[in-house]
Amino acid sequence: MRLNSQLKLLAFLVVTLLLAGSRGSLARAQDASSSQKQQQNIPDAPSAVRPPQPVAPARPQEVPSAPEPQPGAGENQQSPPSATPPQANPAKQSDTEDSQAQPTKPPSQVTTAPPGKSPASSPRDQMYTLTSNVNFVVLPVTVKDQNGRLVDGLLQKNFSVYEDGNKQRISLFTSDPFPLSAAVILDTGMPNVAWRRVGPTLPALEGAFSQFDELSIYTYSNVVHKVTDFTAINKKLDQVVNTIKQEEQGSPGGAPVVGGPINSGPTINGMPADPGAPAMINSTPVRVSHVLNDAVLTAAMELSRRDPTRRKVIFIVSDGHEWGSNASYADVLKVLLSHNVSVYAVAVDAAAIPGLSRLERLHIPKLGEGNILPKYSSATGGQVFPELTREAIETAYQQVTREARNQYTLGYTTKAAMSSNYRTVDVRVDRGGLFVYAKTGYYPLPPARH
């Protein structure tokens, strides 16, 4: 009896030790599993090659889902639905869903204006905006000494500009040379004697311009003919100039005979030998038109459409006679002054003779203008070079282009006015003994249409 009780006690102790050992193994297994999970959440050490990866925030424990099908297992194989734990914490699950469903706050958008622009103003700001239309006046100015040489080295403080008697503030000043847009007008109706001197000089006229200039050529007598449009100095222009030079130009010249013994038939005792011959006594000669105004107007309208950054000039080789143009001098001058076009001229034939050129400036009614080249050049700030010989004409070509390109450029801002109002301009230099060549006035351009 006593032996049985001892065996029972011994069996109980063995069972107790076995149960305790199994519980300890189970606890150690659970601790190892939790330690492994914690090690998986630890980020890797920083690498010298790969940039550091951001550490993912701690997420609530999720129930593992069923494994995805392995590739190549077959198209008909389907993955089983994910298992749901039978006992889940409702409060913890609700917090997880709220954190996932809550959208992230979008970054604030800052509106910036593009470079060179400003944000659109409100209607309230536009109510108090005052608009003032202004015109910017550009004045090419040539300054010479008493010997006719160009004067350089002047500064802005040496110049004064007056408009309608009121001194203006100069806001633009430069002495840099400008490329030229030049319209060359050749008078093919001048007398033959004068054309024989002008024709051979045309290649020198072309050589007076640089590679940065652009040139167009017009001829006129009783009509205006545009020979070539604006183009750079090239071989095509050489061919055009040579063609004009070789063509027979000019007019016979001399006074027309309308009566007298030279123009009548033979006479006997003062009576015509042939009474049936027509008499030409007291007949009126037909005057051939010489449309200089029309030629200048055509060239000025073409120049008005050229690049405004270029110096615009009209270069005339003529005797200056005008007769029969549709355009008047006043109308042409308004176009020239409105578009800042200067007129330079080489006066030939009678216009180059000092005493005779002064007489030809007089306007005799019904006989046209004698020489209007000085009127155009003086009003637009250009110059006239009276030359008689071929060598002098070629020298004048070089002088004209040099003076037109190398000028002082003054600019000032003035209030806008009607385009029909003429405004006088007076440019002065604070040094004595100098001569200033600039336009004497201008017509404001009409406002642009938008």
Residues 6+ away with beta carbon under 8 Å from 390: 197, 200, 201
Q: 290: buried, middle or exposed (CB in 10 Å: 19+, 13-18, 0-12)?
A: buried
- For the chain, give me the number of helices (H) and strands (E)? 11, 16
In a domain, 363, yes or no: yes
What is the reported pLDDT for 47? 52
Pairing state between β 384-386 and 342-347: parallel
In a domain, 161, yes or no: yes
Mean pLDDT on 60-84: 46
| Weakest-pLDDT range from 18-22, 112-116, 220-224 | 112-116
| Weakest-pLDDT range from 66-75, 299-308, 352-361, 386-395 | 66-75
Judge if 199 and 291 occupy the same domain.
Answer: yes
In a domain, 318, yes or no: yes
Euclidean distance between CA atoms 81 and 78, whole angstroms? 9
Judge if 313 and 383 occupy the same domain.
Answer: yes
* Tokens coding 107: 């970054």
Judge if 330 and 219 occupy the same domain.
Answer: yes
Per DSSP, which regions of 205-341 are E strands? 214-220, 224-231, 267-268, 271-272, 311-318
Judge if 333 and 421 occupy the same domain.
Answer: no
What is the reported pLDDT for 41? 54
Helix (H), strand (E) at residue 196: helix 192-198
Judge if 171 and 183 occupy the same domain.
Answer: no
Q: Note whether 137 and 411 are within 8 A (CB).
A: yes
Is 70 exceeded by the pLDDT of residue 319? yes
- CB neighbours (10 Å) of residue 435? 12
Judge if 185 and 238 occupy the same domain.
Answer: yes
Identify the CA nearest to 300 among candidates 312, 316, 289, 317: 312
How many structural domains compose the chain? 2
Euclidean distance between CA atoms 317 and 372, whole angstroms? 12
What is the reported pLDDT for 36? 54
b/e 191-222 (16+ beta carbons within 10 angstroms → b): beebbebbbebbebbbebbeeebbbbbbbbbe
Judge if 294 and 240 occupy the same domain.
Answer: yes
Judge if 339 and 420 occupy the same domain.
Answer: no
Range of the domain at 420: 133-175+408-450
What is the reported pLDDT for 306? 92
* Tokens coding 217: 């050529």
Percent of all residues in the chain with a pLDDT value above 70, rounded to a whole number:
57
Euclidean distance between CA atoms 349 and 307, whole angstroms? 35
Q: Note whether 438 and 140 are within 8 A (CB).
A: yes
In a domain, 88, yes or no: no
In a domain, 148, yes or no: yes
Judge if 305 and 444 occupy the same domain.
Answer: no
User: CATH number for the domain including 397?
Assistant: 3.40.50.410
What is the reported pLDDT for 240? 80
| Weakest-pLDDT range from 136-140, 211-215, 324-328, 367-371 | 367-371
Euclidean distance between CA atoms 344 and 294, whole angstroms? 16
In a domain, 381, yes or no: yes
In a domain, 429, yes or no: yes
User: Which has more confidence, 240 or 145?
Assistant: 145
Judge if 441 and 338 occupy the same domain.
Answer: no
Out of 3-7, 69-73, 441-445, give the one with best mean pLDDT. 441-445
| Weakest-pLDDT range from 19-33, 198-212, 233-247 | 19-33
* Tokens coding 181: 């847009």
Judge if 333 and 239 occupy the same domain.
Answer: yes
What is the reported pLDDT for 181? 94
Is 60 exceeded by the pLDDT of residue 403? yes
What is the reported pLDDT for 448? 53
Mean pLDDT on 258-283: 59
In a domain, 165, yes or no: yes
Q: Residue 239 — very low, low, confident or very high, per pLDDT cuts 50/70/90?
A: confident
Judge if 186 and 166 occupy the same domain.
Answer: no
